[in-house]
Structure 1
Amino acid sequence: MAEEADSAGKAPAKSVSKLDQAAILLMTLGEADAAEILKHLGPKEVQRLGTAMSQLSNVQQTEVEAVLSTFLEEVRTLTGLGMGADGYIRNMLVTALGEDKANGLIDRILLGGNTTGLDTLKWMESRSVADIIRNEHPQIQAIVIAYLDADQAAEILDFFPDKVRLDIMMRVAALDTVQPSALQELNNILEKQFSGSAGSQTKTMGGVKVAAEIVNNLDSTVANELLEAIEDVDEDLSSQIQDLMFVFDNLKDVDDRGIQALLREVSSEILIVALKGADEDLQNKIFSNMSKRAAELLRDDLDAKGPVKVSEVEGAQKEILTIARRMADAGEINLGGGGEQML
């Protein structure tokens, strides 16, 4: 939808999301300046930006000018830029910028900060992390899994056999705090590849909530098998994990304001595929939080959409849940329903 002309009479570019604006801004910078910005971001932010950059096409000069103008205007009102951290997929930057340039940026990011061995694992492919910890003691494996973000941890667990996966998850659920000596031992294991210090304070990690978040990110078949295996060992723990899990159907419990905020962050293509596997109540919840015209278009697109593989539906739903959890962590929405106070 086109925006109205600005006060100077010049029509700005078509509506561009904040993420695409950031991608356009970075693509206008040189490698060194882009690296200086990216090293202040966490892995997941770099992943999202890399994906956005790889999907940019036919960017008009007016759009670039509008992005730069908006950026300069917003910077004038800021005293600092607060940036978070999460999990990362190296291939996204490679796709967006090419192998050489992406590797150059990643090297600058890693060398530019005080990245510890554990933090560096967040920037690695999940298979590589699995290979690194495969032959370590199960407690070390559990500490790594608990330390990483839930989506990356779930991907890593996919590379382990069922029995090992069960052992790791039982240990993750039992974790509370980790002594500095244990973190130092783990950093020593990674010393040949990474540098950094473990610090001197105990660190809170793991627990039933972390276990639930990891299970949430597993493939549904794997998750069900793992929950059944946990139940065979500890029925009460299995129930606690299931109580804390947030699945796609739970979006019905999110208040209207939260659903509206979430929909602004989700592409229509992903939403259509995700809703193919949703029940009527959840579909109606989504429709009721859209304009009448948008809801009609979405219904038409759903009806026109042919059969979709279960794996594709689950993937789309998982992507939306990842966005929802990120927004919840940032205090932008409340996953607990309309009756609870926003955190």
Structure 2
Amino acid sequence: MIEREDLTGVRKAAILLLTMDEELSKEVIKELSEEEIELIGQEIARLESVPREIAVRINDEFTRKLHEKSDHIIGVPAKFRGLLNKSLGEDRAQSLWDHLRTEEEKAGKFLKVCDARILSNILKNEHPQTISLVLSNMESKKATEVISYLPAQVQSDVIVRMAHLERVDRKIIEEIEGVLKDQLESIGVVEGRRLGGVEVVAGMLNQMTRGMDTEILEAIEETNPELAERIKQLMFTFEDLTKIDDKGIQMLLKEISSEDLTIALKGTSEALKERILGNMSDRAAKILREDLEAMGPVRISDVDKAQIKIAMVAKRLNEEGKIAISGGGDTFV
């Protein structure tokens, strides 16, 4: 959220341009140099929403028009791109837009390619709040890998802080990323912005091996039972396949390999095993039973990986609307 003290000259110009009539803003853009357009464009790319009171303060003459809209100007980057197309032509606008987006994404790029073990080694000496900010700006799979290398006593603290994150000033994120980048480059590592919250934590726990996710959830539950419950509601495990109807189970079976399924069923309940077998043809079910009987001991870590893999496929199918996952009368999202 933009605060009054954040209103630099360039930011004011960006907001003013967005609140202008489209034809007028087109004329203004024509009078700007490419350097000026780039500066304003970079500022607009950082804006997520503009509070109405700020926009009114910058341009009082549009007070009436702004009051007819919602509390925020929606679709800020898209609106600016539309203005660029009409003012500069599609080719020139596309070139400038690609440049702006590239600059916007550069800051977090090094975190994506950095080895998780190296990154965790640097982060372990940072404050848990700093660690939570960094992990919240990473994909959940990478964040899970990084946190697995952190000391056990730090893990639950970081997870709790991530779950409480809602919105952080972009400048703070950029400063932290800059410091980390310097540290990484100093040890020879060379080569976002989605913040954390309950969803990211649930995604991380979904990808953790058996035991680690339980320990972290229990630690959270001790200090904040309500938060732990919210995280559990967003998690999806292999055992939750019982919440899928028969049609959904059959669709899921088409999306997974028989090898993954066989290994996953080695470590599951008899009820779920029979539910899966009951949704297969007699011949396929017979083959699977024989494979399970013939299979020797399987490492728990391999079972975990297979179950996580299948659970993630089920979650994807649910998100795509192809299957329904329900429990307690509510749809599992």
TM-score by length of 1: 0.58
Query: In the alignment, is residue 205 of structure 1 matched against residue 195 of structure 2?
Result: yes
Query: In the alignment, is residue 150 of structure 1 matched against residue 140 of structure 2?
Result: yes
1:310 match: 300
> Would you say the 8 A contact 2:144–2:205 is kept in 1?
yes
- AA aligned opposite 2:232: Q
Rounded Cα–Cα distance in structure 1 between residues aligned with 2:304 and 2:172: 37
> Would you say the 8 A contact 1:117–1:190 is kept in 2?
no
2:121 match: 131
Match of 2:232 among 235, 242, 251: 242
Deviations 1:292-323 (A, max 9, x none): 32222111111211222322212211222233
Change over 3 Å in CA distance of 1:209–1:338 after alignment to 2: same
**Superposed displacement of residue 342, structure 1:** 10
Rounded Cα–Cα distance in structure 2 between residues aligned with 1:226 and 1:338: 24
2:313 match: 323
**Superposed displacement of residue 339, structure 1:** 7.6
**Residue segments in structure 1 that go unaligned for 5+ positions in a row:** 1-111
Query: In the alignment, is residue 280 of structure 1 matched against residue 290 of structure 2?
Result: no
Rounded Cα–Cα distance in structure 2 between residues aligned with 1:281 and 1:336: 17
- Structure 1 counterpart SS, 2:255: coil
2:58 match: none
Rounded Cα–Cα distance in structure 1 between residues aligned with 2:330 and 2:165: 28
**Superposed displacement of residue 118, structure 1:** 2.4
**Residue segments in structure 2 that go unaligned for 5+ positions in a row:** 1-100
Query: In the alignment, is residue 186 of structure 1 matched against residue 176 of structure 2?
Result: yes
2:205 match: 215
> Would you say the 8 A contact 2:110–2:181 is kept in 1?
no
**Superposed displacement of residue 128, structure 1:** 2.7
Change over 3 Å in CA distance of 1:132–1:262 after alignment to 2: farther
1:295 match: 285
User: 1:226-265, aligned counterparts within 5 Å?
Assistant: 226-265=216-255
Query: In the alignment, is residue 335 of structure 1 matched against residue 319 of structure 2?
Result: no
Rounded Cα–Cα distance in structure 1 between residues aligned with 2:331 and 2:260: 29
Aligned length: 227
Change over 3 Å in CA distance of 1:224–1:340 after alignment to 2: closer
TM-score by length of 2: 0.59
- AA aligned opposite 1:181: K
1:54 match: none
Rounded Cα–Cα distance in structure 1 between residues aligned with 2:321 and 2:114: 28
Identity percentage of aligned residues: 37
> Would you say the 8 A contact 1:272–1:301 is kept in 2?
yes
Match of 2:154 among 142, 159, 164: 164
1:25 match: none
**Superposed displacement of residue 130, structure 1:** 1.4
Change over 3 Å in CA distance of 1:191–1:156 after alignment to 2: closer
Rounded Cα–Cα distance in structure 1 between residues aligned with 2:325 and 2:248: 8
- AA aligned opposite 2:289: R
Change over 3 Å in CA distance of 1:294–1:225 after alignment to 2: same
Rounded Cα–Cα distance in structure 1 between residues aligned with 2:257 and 2:114: 27
Match of 2:164 among 166, 174, 182: 174
- AA aligned opposite 1:220: R
Rounded Cα–Cα distance in structure 2 between residues aligned with 1:276 and 1:313: 7
Q: CA RMSD in A?
A: 3.1
**Superposed displacement of residue 252, structure 1:** 0.9
Deviations 1:133-179 (A, max 9, x none): 33333222112222323232222111111221111011011011222
- Structure 2 counterpart SS, 1:205: coil
- AA aligned opposite 2:239: D
**Superposed displacement of residue 204, structure 1:** 5.5
Change over 3 Å in CA distance of 1:262–1:229 after alignment to 2: same
Change over 3 Å in CA distance of 1:335–1:123 after alignment to 2: farther
- AA aligned opposite 1:117: A
Rounded Cα–Cα distance in structure 1 between residues aligned with 2:163 and 2:332: 27
